[in-house]
Amino acid sequence: MTESYSPLDSRVYAMLRDSRMIIVCGSGGVGKTTSAAALGVAAATHFDKRVLVLTVDPARRLATALGLEALGNVEVPVALDGARGSLTMAMIDTKSSWDDMIRRHAPDAATRDRVLANDLYKTLTSRFVHSHDYVVTERLFDARESGNFDLVIVDTPPSRSALSVLDAPRRMEQFFGSRLLRLLTAPSQSRLLSLASRPFFLVADRILGAAFLSDIAEFFTLFRTMESPIVARARRVGALLSDSATSYLVVTSAEPVAMNEAGYLVEALRGRRHRLEAVLANRLVPRRLSDGAPQRAAALASNSDPVSQALAAAEREIAAVASREAEVLARIGTWEVDVLASESRAGDITDTGSLRGLAQDIRSLR
Amino acid sequence: MSAALARVAAAQGKRVLVCEMDDKGSLAAYLGRNELGFAPTEVSPGVFAMAMNTEDSLREYIRLFLRLPIITSLAPLARIFDFVANAAPAVKEILAVGKLCYEVRERNYDIVIVDSEASGHFVAQVSAPDALATLVRIGIVADQTKWMSDLLHDHSVSSVLAVVTPEEMPVVETIELRERLAKATPIDFAGVVVNRMPRDTVSDADLATARSIGTAQASVAVAEWLVDRRRAAQAQVARLAEALDQAALATVVETVLETVLESPDASSPSAVVDHIVDEITAHLGGAA
């Protein structure tokens, strides 16, 4: 029964109604994953939508929030009481996502098997950070293209990594278009003859070692056979990220570092002309507690008994935190974005009920 | 935390290099600077600070190790950098780790403190020399990764200090970080610092008395909220201590240090560092 749930803030309601993809970014430890999950629960509860929440962080945060044990590359349906729509969760596993991509794009079985068995490929995809970024965008794209979901909510890795995820399709495209790849994959004789490429190989051989260089060349020669499907997709993924139905939500806490990061992200997203939906200030002190705290602290301070003194100290502490948060919110206001605020809740977020409550408590400030 | 540790070490007369890996500028703010560059600058007596930049690191590397003749044009270098950064990301990580290992090996500083990237990326970074060594068995890179791995694996030289806030997900991640790290590389895991522990403003006894009196209900609600918050944080610290203990790391539990960031005067980043410096100093005094 939808009626049994309290309504969402109108700003949050409109965001969930109008977006087809919401990319949640922000510094680490500000409740980004929890916010993404909460918005997913709220969207599936209040709208007749098929909602997917994707987490791209290598750590299994979402699984913890939802009490799901094995959240892997597969999509896991989440049971929601009285929901109008449906909710699915998935985590992106870098290695298996790359393998899927190679299987899909390889021109023939022989190339596919050689790439999958290549040592360089295995190490690159399983051990190195930036290999993650591209498959994230692949998964977003898949989720949208599949037609299985009406809204995709993405929890990105902390901060700057979120931007490298956004840049990944363009980098992939540039990589295939680069002279370097052509140089590397050219037959070795013509390489030596080419006057232009000689300085490059002189340096590259000395840094990387000739044997490694030829390993790289072999890998990328195989990889190039998949150039046109991968480049074509990278372009479409890039277009999807700047689509007007793709909105970005920057999450922050009142901590100075998280705020600096949020400010940076707001600027960066604007610079990329992405649709910045709002800044969500998370984990604020409940106003029902902090309102009037300084007055109550002053009244209590006039009593000398230890209990009154302890209560006065509590009132002063909550008043101090609230006034610091007010300064932070005022600063976000100067960025000329919509501001959403969410109060910290008692107890851990452990189930879908508390996630739903979290989303319902988000209110817009301007 | 990195800024505070650097200042504590410098106060003990050490020459300290502190480096921010993810270029977000918060270390600069905590050290009272607007920005940091690749070249270390002395931000306070004994504390040198830098921000990692892999392109600068590559330049320095080529200059120091390859002793190549001055490259007439920078264009080839830039192209190589594009290649290493975008196509062979391992090299980007190795350049960052390599720069820091170089400073350690050359003994330019008594302590090098690295403000690393988020935990998910950190494992890849710190194990990059090991990973690269399995790929490149000969050549300059192979020689280079060997000494880096040796330094990182030497428990008397390198240690990982995890910093965590007393909340469920960061605690779970820290426990996972330790497990993943143990699988990826034999680096020493020195311990965990619990940061931003809520203050102990109201005791349970005072709260119980206030409840029984029955007046000042709004203030009692505030006190309850603070007590609940602290209790939840303590439960997370206990969970962390238990997980680390189960992994036969009894000493780690002893190094769990609680610092308080919810201080009313903690309004500016450098005031926060002042506060943590006091806390660590007090803790060291207590341990001695």
Q: How far apart are alpha carbons B249 and B192 in whole angstroms?
A: 11
Beta carbons of A212 and B170 less than 8 Å apart: no
pLDDT per residue as tens digits for the range A58-113: 445 456 556 566 556 678 888 888 889 999 988 777 778 888 888 888 888 988 88
Alpha helix positions (H), A47-108: 61-66, 94-105
More confident residue, A270 or A56: A270
DSSP state of B65: I
**Tokens representing residue A288 in the block:** 């029902």
Residues of A within 8 A of B24 (CB-CB) are 27, 159-160, 260-261, 264
Which residues of chain A lie closer than 8 angstroms to B176, CB-CB?
59-60
Domain ranges of chain A: 2-177+212-286+336-364
Work out the percent of chain B whose per-residue pLDDT is above 70.
67
Residue A278 tokens, joined: 């709002």
Partner B contacted by A236 (CB < 8 A): no
Domains defined along chain B, listed by start: 1-6+15-153 (3.40.50.300), 164-288 (no CATH)
- Contact across the interface for B125 and A207, Cβ inside 8 Å: no
Residue A3: exposed, middle, or buried by beta-carbon count in 10 A (0-12, 13-18, 19+)? exposed
Answer yes or no: do A207 and B66 touch at CB < 8 A.
yes
Q: Which residues of A touch B121 (CB under 8 A)?
A: 58, 129, 157, 161
- CB pair distance less than 8 Å for A310 and B24: no
Report whether A349 contacts A39 (CB < 8 A). Answer: no
Distance between B42 CA and the closest CA of chain A, angstroms:
22
| Cα–Cα distance for residue pair B78/A87, rounded to 1 Å | 46
Instruction: Please list the ranges in chain B whose pLDDT falls under 50.
Output: 70-74, 87, 246-267, 286-288
Q: Which two tokens stand for residue A337?
A: 């974005």
Alpha helices per DSSP H over chain B: 2-11, 26-30, 54-61, 75-86, 89-105, 119-126, 128-135, 140-153, 168-184, 204-213, 217-246, 250-254, 269-287
Q: Which of A348, A342, A341 is nearest to A365 (CA)?
A: A341
Chain A residues with CB inside 8 Å of B71's CB?
199, 203
Burial class (CB in 10 A: 0-12, 13-18, 19+), A299: middle
Q: What is the pLDDT of residue A106?
A: 86
Please give the pLDDT value at position A304: 86
Q: Average pLDDT for residues A22-32, to the nearest whole number?
A: 84
Nearest in space to B197 (alpha carbons), one of B247, B224, B163: B163
- pLDDT value at A226 more than 90: no
Cβ atoms of residues A65 and A27 within 8 Å = no
H or E element: which one contains A331?
helix A306-333
Predicted local distance difference test score (pLDDT) of residue A208: 58
Nearest CA among B161, B9, B38 for reference residue B103: B38
* Nearest CB partner across the interface for A127, out of B25, B124, B223: B124
Strand order in the sheet with B159-164: B159-164, B188-194, B257-258
> Is A253 part of the contact surface with chain B (CB cutoff 8 Å)?
no
- Chain B partners of A181 at a C-beta cutoff of 8 Å? 87
Interface-testing mutation among A317, A321, A351, with chain B (most B C-beta atoms within 10 A): A317
A22 - beta bridge partners?
A153, A247
Does residue A187 register a pLDDT over 70? no
Mean pLDDT of A174-180: 67
Residue B277 Cα, gap to closest chain A Cα (Å):
18
The pLDDT value given to residue A158: 61
Q: Is A348 on the interface with B (CB under 8 A)?
A: yes
pLDDT of res. B224: 92
Mean pLDDT of chain A: 80
pLDDT, residue B185, reads 82
Closest residue in chain A to residue B130, using alpha carbons only:
A127
Q: Is A298 on the interface with B (CB under 8 A)?
A: no
DSSP B136-167: --SSHHHHHHHHHHHHHH-TTT-EEEEEE-SS
pLDDT band at A210 (very low <50, low <70, confident <90, very high): low
**Rounded mean pLDDT, A345-357:** 72
Kindly provide the ipTM of the predicted complex, given to two decimals: 0.73
Round the CA-based radius of gyration of chain B to a whole number and report it.
22
Residues 6+ apart with CB under 8 A from A267: none
Distances (CA, A) of B114 to A33, A259, B4, B6, B19: 26, 22, 12, 10, 5
Residue B231 to residue B251: CA distance in whole angstroms: 24
For helices A10-18 and A32-46, the axis angle rounded to 10 degrees is 80
pLDDT in tens, B20-76: 887 666 788 778 787 888 888 898 899 998 888 777 777 777 666 555 554 444 455
Residue of B nearest to A319 (CA): B264
pLDDT confidence of residue B219: 92
Mean model confidence pLDDT for chain B: 73
Touching check for A107 and chain B: CB below 8 Å?
no
Cβ distance of B201 and A264 shorter than 8 Å: no
pLDDT > 70: what percent of chain A? 75
Among A124, A209, A306, beta carbon nearest to B206: A306
Contact (CB<8Å) B121/A157:
yes
In this prediction, residue B120 carries a pLDDT of: 62
User: Per-residue pLDDT for A205 more than 70?
Assistant: no
Which chain B residues are Cβ-neighbours of A203 within 8 angstroms?
Answer: 62, 66, 68, 71, 76-77, 80
Under 8 Å CB pairs connecting chains A and B tally to 214
Residue A130 pLDDT level (bands cut at 50, 70, 90)? low
Q: pLDDT, tens digit, for every residue of A286-327?
A: 999 999 999 999 999 898 888 899 999 999 989 988 888 888
DSSP code at position B248: T
Closest-CA residue of B relative to A308 is B210
Instruction: Using a cut of 0.90, tell me whether the model's pTM lies above it.
Output: no
CA nearest A120 in B: which residue?
B135
What is the residue whose two structure tokens read 């998370």?
A282
What CA–CA distance (Å, rounded) separates A154 from A165?
11
Looking at beta carbons, which residues of chain B come within 8 Å of A344?
229
pLDDT (average), residues A36-65: 80
Chain A residues with CB-CB distance to B26 below 8 A: 257, 260-261
Residue of B230, B127, B130, B135 lying closest to B177 (CA atoms): B127
Buried b (16+ CB within 10 A) or exposed e, A327-343: ebbeebeebebbbbbbb
Please tell me which residue of chain B has the smallest CA distance to A299: B216
Task: List A residues 20-79 in contact with B (Cβ-Cβ < 8 A).
Answer: 27-29, 33-34, 57-61, 64-65
Of B251 and A13, the one with more pLDDT: A13
Judged by CB atoms closer than 8 Å, whether chains meet at B141 and A261 is answered as no
pLDDT of residue B235: 85
Pairing label, strands B47-51, B41-44: antiparallel
Closest chain A C-alpha to B216 CA, distance in angstroms: 9
pLDDT of residue B261: 40
Write out the CATH class of domain A2-177+212-286+336-364: alpha beta
* CB spacing of B268 vs A60 below 8 angstroms: no
- The answer to whether the Cβ–Cβ distance between B127 and A158 falls below 8 Å is no
Q: Which of B173, B222, B227, B259 to mutate to test the interface with A (most CBs of A within 10 A)?
A: B222
Asked if B76 and A210 come within 8 Å (Cβ–Cβ), the reply is no
